[in-house]
Amino acid sequence: MTIALPARAKLNLDLEVLGRTADGFHELRTTFQAIDLHDLLAIDRADKTELTVSGLPISDRDNSVLKAHDAIEQHTKRKLPARFHLHKRIPPGSGMGGASSDAAATLRGLKTMFALEIDLAPIAEELGSDVPFFLKGGRARAQGRGEQVTQLADEHAWFAIAWPGIELATVDVYRAWDDVKGEGPNHLRKAAEHVEPRLKEFAQRLGEGWQMTGSGSAFFKRGQTEQQARESTRDLEVWTTVARPVAIW
């Protein structure tokens, strides 16, 4: 039996960094929106665990699929040998949550394949701040480190998305926020531009109405129709796509 799951991307429709907690983590408040851009994860039972990857290139080291697999094995205290194939469509280091979504899809897929009677939420929290959201998707308000998720009503929109081909490490952006802070619809944008000055130039070329998602480096622009969204990306000489919101799964 093969289980194939779409690992959806997300956009941060807004993002506030409220400060640092006593344990050193950053507290945030954000609105997540899952979109139909997705990686595809196929899972089969196997004699030993292995991962192959196609599509957009990513680092094999510390891959989130294997991290999630290891975490669920530790939680269940049993071996769950599986063969994974991940087809990457979400640009890495773009702020669209590809790695976190891959991890959540891994947890969901293994739970189904091995008929595990476990709560995935605490495992998801250990893996990363965005992973709990990707267990359900849709549109949601998240607080704390991202683990306090409240589902919101679906909203109609189209999104133009542009990625400059720059991979940003989330930890580097948050570290920069400690120095430069932030404001506006995404408090991390100033920090991301501090880490990678080319991002500011990219944003200026995009023009009005574009907003950075997550810790960068992708930007999105909301439209009422698919045509409006496609018009926004027409003359951009970078990776682009047009996406729609996806409801809770």
Cβ burial, residue 204 (10 Å; 0-12/13-18/19+) = exposed
Enumerate residues 6+ apart whose C-beta is below 8 A from 222.
157, 158, 159, 209
Phi, psi of 84 (to 5 degrees): -110, 140
77 among known catalytic residues: no
Phi, psi of 23 (to 5 degrees): -90, 5
Q: DSSP alpha helices (H): ranges in 55-207?
A: 64-76, 98-113, 121-127, 131-134, 170-180, 189-195, 198-206
Neighbouring CB atoms inside 10 A of 109's CB total 24
Q: Is 185 helix (H, G, I), strand (E, B) or coil?
A: coil
130 among known catalytic residues: yes
Neighbouring CB atoms inside 10 A of 33's CB total 26
Report d(CA 231, CA 225) in Å as an integer: 10
Report d(CA 134, CA 248) in Å as an integer: 9
Q: Which of 67, 88, 102, 130 is catalytic?
A: 130
Q: Which of 10, 67, 88, 111 is catalytic?
A: 10
Phi-psi region of 106 (alpha: psi -120 to 50; beta: other; left: phi over 0): alpha
Provide the annotated active-site residues: 10, 130
